[in-house]
Structure 1
Amino acid sequence: MNRHWKTLLVAAVVLTSLHATVVAAQDTTSTVTGQVVDPGDAAIVGAQIDLRTSNGAKVLRTTSDSQGRFMLRGLSGGRYVLDVLHDGFQETKQTLVLSGNVMEATRVQMPVSTLTQSVTVSASPALATETPVSQSQAEVSREDFKNSPAITVADIVSMMPGVTFVPGNGPRDVAISVRGSSTRQTYGVRNIKVFEDGFPVTQPDGLARTDLTDPHAYSSVDVVRGPSSALYGNYATGGAINFHTRSGSEIKGLEVGADFGSFNYFNDYATYGAGDDRYQLSVFLSNVRADQATVNNQFNTVTANILASFAATPHDRMTFKFINNDLDTNLSIRLSRAQYQLNPYQLGCQTYSVAFATNGCASVSVYVNGYNGTRQSLGAAEAGLNRHDRRTIVGARYEHDLTEKTTWQTQFVWDNRDANQPTSSSAYRGTLPSFNVMSDLLRHGSTLGRSSTTVVGGFFNYENINSTSANLMPGGNATIGGATQTVQGSHLNSGFHARQEMSLGERWTLVAGLGGEYTKLSALANNFSYPVGGTPTISPVTANRPFFNVAPEVGVQFRPDNAWRLHARVGTGYGTPQATQLFTTPQGAFGNNTTLKTQRNIGIDTGADWALSSTLQLSGTFFYEWFRNEQVTQSPGVNLQSFTFNAPASAHRGVEASLDWHPLPQRLTGLRLRTAYTYDNQIYTDYTEQLTTGSVTNTFARSNNRIPGVQPHFLDGRVIYDQSTGSLRGLGGYVEATWRDQYFLDNANLLTAPGYTLLNLSLHYDPPVGHGFTSRLRFFFDLQNLANKTYVGSAGNITDSLNTSGQQNGASVLANSTGSIYAGTPRASYGGVRVRF
């Protein structure tokens, strides 16, 4: 930890020196403050405010707060255009001329849009992968999480309808789900594509991990919901997530922060930003470490995130991206339901003893000699279970305006994942380098006399797979025994997408898209066995699987008036198997599973967004999706490997809703109520499961059973207050309640993970401008899980079993199935301070 801390300290000193140099070379800067209001002078909340140079280059982006106010700091002299957008209002622009050290105040009054204006197809977004028209989507801005510890990405997506999450295998490893997309596994992000500043951070095999995501670095997050392979390609059966870091002009200087809290939690971070109409640079560094409540979960993570862009000419732009994350964490063992009830935080379970079973302690069973014969049980700390992973991403994007209305974008990403994961009785080590090339033409103009946006492009990505699995053995520090499996191979995806958004008259926008993709899995697995008294054997399994998938979509958006947006869509998605899934059998052993099929889904969405006024916004969506060969992952036990199987047919249906309401805009302007609700009902419609014990085999119909791991109800609500006037201006906070329903853990629907309700309190003080050095500071304090409730934070699916007569074992037996549960964090407090230089 000292090494990581010294590295961060040196980096912060360098950034401070760089900032001092830049400041010394600059003239004084200006600040723009303002308020966005409607024709009746009521504050407009959540307006998007872009500050652009006179040639149209974006310098800063922010959103109006609960009083419609905004602030743009650190601006050099010159002519700027303030561009303000909000649903139901006309786009409004103001010209600003800044010179010297001034504070410019402005007031933006947005006229209500006409029907024709409300359906004009906008030239934004700049990237083809962001916020497609007619699709269900949600956004959170930095205003929603900047005054909180934001320990993991879960803290910034909790207020998004349709989005759920569970902790994974590590401190910031969060399995984010869109409509339950990642709930059938307990780590990483699958079945949705993840982007950062337009660069893909999902590798070609479909896996993204949020270990590299420190929420302090981001300005906003967009989520696109529903089957989306027509635009995003393979593994987009659930949709996509777009993370956006802060621009240099938004930061404009150096920010240093320190968060601290329960279980020895510390996060030291620094952000540097600079920019003008020609270039933007932002650099983020952080070092976070903690012990955590559950035994053997100490961690230390160092993250670097850099975004740089410049305009070479008025028609040529370059963007560069760099991410590096070094994760070093111990890891506890997932529990059975019975162990969780006895000892959720695994207290006193460091070293194995005969009292382990009585005390609810989990253990792994390893070969004494590392190969065969006698086994010995070890606790997680005693065995040295951990993860030490490094992820490095380098990306570059070139944009060239072919004409005034047509832009060519090409980007390249190199992404390397080094994994060292002795997480159970078997250790996994792998190096998985990959690259991703994408090229698109975007045209904003007219088609058949109609305003339209057209995207046509292609992509190619490739991943090299090299991994070794081996037995753990006694000796501590994850001592490695004999190899059990090696996998060498590759994963290739290549395809195209085409999409058009066309305005049909005053009220309607039509969307149509098509994507096609060729996927090739080529891999060789060598499985090793060590018979007692015999000769070791190697059993090779070859996978050479080509796939070709096509995904169409069609959607429509209707604006009956300036308060309503109605949308409907039919979309499709697909996800091919990953190479590693092909080499683990349903018995949890290394072997042949190469018959695994591509999962496909087709879904319908219909929804409405209603902005009654700037103080009340409602959103609701109904969805129904049909899956074929859905891939479901289960754990057969802590000493075995999780495996994946195909369910022939299943259905996902549900409702997503959100509310953003300022109930007393005149008397208590800072009072705000926000809620996000998801109902997600997922069932098997055609699936018969075969179970075996010894020589006894039986089959069971699972049709109409709930798919395990999916939380049917998720509700998050906040009562927020921010003081906007008087001596207490800048003081605020919220009370939050989160409710999750119970959900099944097995295909027979016999065992459940219990539901729970959590209460959180957050307070902050953001001193307003004009208070000297104090205005550079920001303070916050959070108290999470106020009632100190013990709850299931994460639970993996388990495999049903048979008794000796061939009948299913009941819930009391399944409750002893290990490898499933992590307990959530008990009551914890966090505080922090940030300072701007």
Structure 2
Amino acid sequence: MQSKFHTIPINMTLLCLTSCICQSLYAETKAITPIVLPTLKVEATRTDTAWLNTPASVYRIEQDKNQNNLGVNLTETLKGVPGLQLNNRENYAQDLQLSMRGFGARSTFGVRGIRLYVDGIPATMPDGQGQTSNIDLSSLDHIEVLGGPFSSLYGNSSGGAILTSTKEGSGQDSIELGYSAGSHNKNRADVILQGGADKAGEPSYVVSSSYFDTDGYREHSAAKKVLSNAKLTWDLDDGSKVNWILNHVDIHADDPQGLTREQWKANPKQQVAFLKQFDVRKEINQTQTGLTWSKPLNDQHELYAMAYAGQREVIQYQSIPSGTQTNARHAGGVIDFNRDYYGTDVRWTGKDLFPNTRFTAGLTFDYMDEDRKGFENFDANGNYGVKGDLRRDENNTLWNLDPYLQASWNFVPAWTVDAGLRYSNVHYESKDHYIDVGNGDDSGKTDYDKVLPSVALSWAMTPTLNSYVSYAKGFETPTFTEMAYSADEGMNFNLQPASSDNYELGLKAQNSWGNFTAAVFQSKTQNDIVSAGTENGRATFKNADKTLREGLELSWNKALWRDLTAQASYSYIDATFDAPIPNSKVEKGSKIPGIAKNQAFAAIGWQPETGFNVGVDVRFMDKVYVDDSNSDAAPRYTVASANAGYVWKQADWKVRTYVRADNLFDENYVGSVIVNDGNGRFFEPADGMNWSAGLSVSKAF
């Protein structure tokens, strides 16, 4: 399918779409009789306002409406969120590829530039690197996605924020057993125990555990994953609320790695023959726990506190030949680290201290202590895929202490100003314990800090139509992985953080025609972190002078008739280097790799509480450049999916069945790209037509 959007000038597109929507929505709200609509509450901006009155691009996705799927990846749930590009690598060793408005697109593994939270606990480390692997879809209640300027409220690397929340136990004690199967010998079994509290002071609870394994779509892409999640909630007599969360994930996954364009076209399922000898794989073991507490002191004052701690172990075997590792400066082909992390967030909220105002003041502290080692990936007999001699040994510590303020003032009935200020600071220190001939002491430390202001002005044009304009300063530090190597000897402590100026003009409507959003945005970034090529087998990074991201986002959803619902979204982003990068082929106007210029999504579904349900969706993604010089691109594609299920309830029993098919027309496309891959193996092929089916049975007691 060829996109027609890329031929339309951006200025004309923004002007026409925004003005047309404004006029049609305003006319519609005057013409109809006022109706009572449900209030959609969001928590991501910490302002305790309804979705319609929140001056930011924020979307809430209820997990109950996304149950006809396997329940393994966020790509199954976060569909159609404008501005969010979420790609499935078909590679459980490297996590999903996630970016928002172009932030985070450079990541070749894990998540960069976007803050992730699980029940209020950061899944992003102080340096800005995060992962989605510990998000439990079985016990998930909802997800909030926050983009645009207001995401800077979360500090470092908050080009966007994704906040997931586990459901709270309610009603009778119950147990649910489920099993799903799918293409490539996918198997997933899960159990969920839950129950509500009979009286104040007693906990409600949700306990979930699942096991998943697969042979994988491609050669050498098998994976096993065990995930357990528990949440206890106390509503106490004094009005306070306590949540205790415990989460554990254990992953063993093979890594098929990328392909060149020729290899992808010849056989998308293959692993490059030369790479098979290395047995590239990753093992992840992570446990974390946290406690949240909130208490209203009276009608005006409320306190909130969160504390968490976790431990993460990773062993990763890479495909680095022994000849490359003979360089004295090389860190080896096996990464082995053990990371302890903990932190806290405390804040006070005051309401109506002055007429129609709300103030929040808080302090966030995060700390990470990492013992990182590197080993040769071969033994004395020349066998690859085994842990050999030590080549790296260091201790890395990071911490931040961020104070922040937020204020909201409804100064006249239809106008509200929201403002925030955060001092974001990150402190790095590395102590090198591996010092040998030709490999000197790489110890060092550095500090990064930035004052991050934000402000938004919103206008309630009618009770069902709201507009806003906002600005914020953004800040993204390099991760420890990006600082690990430089063209010279030692860690790259000269790498600077990126800072951005972010602007947004938005419109929201909630009326009988559904929920609408339209947003025009621009982000100007200085010192964006980009690839500096490979030195002796090591990926290095540098700063680009200026980059520019600007575009448009539209979304709509509506209950059409009874249980028939529909949604649609469209995203346009023009992401370019706004200045040439010295000593490279990157000229001003070159496209930032990893970002699709156009995205579109549409879905329709019949979703009653019981009985037969069915849904179909279609997703379009534009081509994606693979490197800074735009030497090649993954082609644009359109894929369709369909699902059906049946829910039966009788007294204390509930049975749910489903079947779904993805990529219905067996499109041969690239699911994601490995940005700036030094070997030219940029392409990670997506699965062809594939299916899954499942059954769950629950019983209340």
TM-score, structure 1 as length reference: 0.73
Unpaired runs of 5+ residues, structure 2, are 1-28, 321-332
Which of residues 334, 351, 357 is equivalent to 1:444?
351
Tell me, in whole angstroms, the C-alpha distance in 2 between the residues paired with 1:124 and 1:629: 31
Query: Larger Rg: 1 or 2?
Result: 1
Which of residues 540, 564, 568 is equivalent to 1:675?
568
Change (3 A) 1:501 1:222: same
Which of residues 688, 694, 700 is equivalent to 2:581?
688
What RMSD over aligned residues (CA atoms) do the two structures have, in Å?
2.8
Hey, what does 2:23 align to over in structure 1? none
- SS of corresponding position for 1:313: coil
Say yes or no: does 1:397 pair with 2:292.
yes
Tell me, in whole angstroms, the C-alpha distance in 1 between the residues paired with 2:596 and 2:315: 31
Say yes or no: does 1:623 pair with 2:521.
yes
Contact 2:586/2:628 (8 A) holds in 1: no
Tell me, in whole angstroms, the C-alpha distance in 1 between the residues paired with 2:622 and 2:41: 40
Which of residues 381, 388, 406 is equivalent to 1:481?
388
Change (3 A) 1:228 1:493: farther
Contact 1:172/1:213 (8 A) holds in 2: no
Say yes or no: does 1:424 pair with 2:319.
yes
Contact 1:486/1:527 (8 A) holds in 2: yes
For this pair of structures, how many residues does the alignment match? Answer: 648
Tell me, in whole angstroms, the C-alpha distance in 2 between the residues paired with 1:502 and 1:128: 11
Say yes or no: does 1:780 pair with 2:641.
no
Hey, what does 1:597 align to over in structure 2? 496
Q: Deviations over 1:601-633 (max 9, x none)?
A: 1111111112341x4222111110110111124
Hey, what does 2:144 align to over in structure 1? 222
Matches for 1:277-676 after TM superposition, within 5 Å: 277-278=199-200, 279-346=203-270, 361-364=272-275, 379=276, 382-425=277-320, 426-447=333-354, 449=355, 451-473=356-378, 478-525=385-432, 536-585=437-486, 591-613=490-512, 615-633=513-531, 636=534, 640-663=537-560, 665=561, 669-676=562-569
Which of residues 150, 159, 165 is equivalent to 1:244?
165
Matches for 1:25-44 after TM superposition, within 5 Å: none
Q: What code does the residue aligned with 2:206 have?
A: S
Tell me, in whole angstroms, the C-alpha distance in 2 between the residues paired with 1:561 and 1:156: 32
| CA deviation after TM superposition for structure 1 residue 722, in Å | 3.7
Change (3 A) 1:172 1:480: closer
Say yes or no: does 1:795 pair with 2:673.
yes
| CA deviation after TM superposition for structure 1 residue 251, in Å | 8.1
Contact 2:300/2:353 (8 A) holds in 1: no
Tell me, in whole angstroms, the C-alpha distance in 1 between the residues paired with 2:516 and 2:64: 19
Q: Deviations over 1:790-815 (max 9, x none)?
A: 21112112268xxxxxxxxxxxxxxx
Tell me, in whole angstroms, the C-alpha distance in 2 between the residues paired with 1:362 and 1:165: 29
Q: Deviations over 1:437-496 (max 9, x none)?
A: 11100122242x2x2221101121111121112221266672123333333221111120
Q: What code does the residue aligned with 2:210 have?
A: S
Tell me, in whole angstroms, the C-alpha distance in 1 between the residues paired with 2:476 and 2:45: 27
Q: Deviations over 1:28-53 (max 9, x none)?
A: xxxxxxxxxxxxxxxxxxxxxxxxxx
Matches for 1:69-84 after TM superposition, within 5 Å: none
Q: Deviations over 1:236-266 (max 9, x none)?
A: 1x12111011111178511111111111111
> Identity, % of aligned pairs?
19
Say yes or no: does 1:149 pair with 2:70.
yes
Say yes or no: does 1:756 pair with 2:625.
no
- SS of corresponding position for 1:538: coil
Change (3 A) 1:700 1:681: same
- SS of corresponding position for 1:494: strand
Contact 2:139/2:206 (8 A) holds in 1: no
| CA deviation after TM superposition for structure 1 residue 362, in Å | 4.6
- SS of corresponding position for 2:170: helix
Matches for 1:49-88 after TM superposition, within 5 Å: none
Contact 1:483/1:528 (8 A) holds in 2: no
| CA deviation after TM superposition for structure 1 residue 341, in Å | 1.8
Contact 1:190/1:207 (8 A) holds in 2: yes
Hey, what does 1:66 align to over in structure 2? none
Contact 2:126/2:426 (8 A) holds in 1: no
Contact 2:364/2:402 (8 A) holds in 1: yes
Contact 2:228/2:248 (8 A) holds in 1: yes
| CA deviation after TM superposition for structure 1 residue 298, in Å | 0.9
Change (3 A) 1:825 1:400: same
Tell me, in whole angstroms, the C-alpha distance in 2 between the residues paired with 1:127 and 1:778: 36
Hey, what does 1:829 align to over in structure 2? 691
Hey, what does 1:374 align to over in structure 2? none
Which of residues 76, 86, 90 is equivalent to 1:165?
86
Change (3 A) 1:255 1:723: closer
TM-score, structure 2 as length reference: 0.87
Larger RCO of the pair (alpha carbons < 8 Å, separation 6+) = 2
Hey, what does 2:327 align to over in structure 1? none
Contact 1:556/1:569 (8 A) holds in 2: yes
| CA deviation after TM superposition for structure 1 residue 751, in Å | 0.9
Matches for 1:8-27 after TM superposition, within 5 Å: none
Contact 1:229/1:572 (8 A) holds in 2: no
Contact 2:93/2:282 (8 A) holds in 1: no
Contact 2:350/2:359 (8 A) holds in 1: yes
| CA deviation after TM superposition for structure 1 residue 688, in Å | 1.9
Contact 2:504/2:520 (8 A) holds in 1: yes
Q: Deviations over 1:81-128 (max 9, x none)?
A: xxxxxxx9xxxxxxxxxxxxxxxxxxxxx9648xxx99xx99978967
Hey, what does 1:262 align to over in structure 2? 183
Tell me, in whole angstroms, the C-alpha distance in 2 between the residues paired with 1:670 and 1:397: 36
Change (3 A) 1:129 1:616: closer
- SS of corresponding position for 2:376: strand
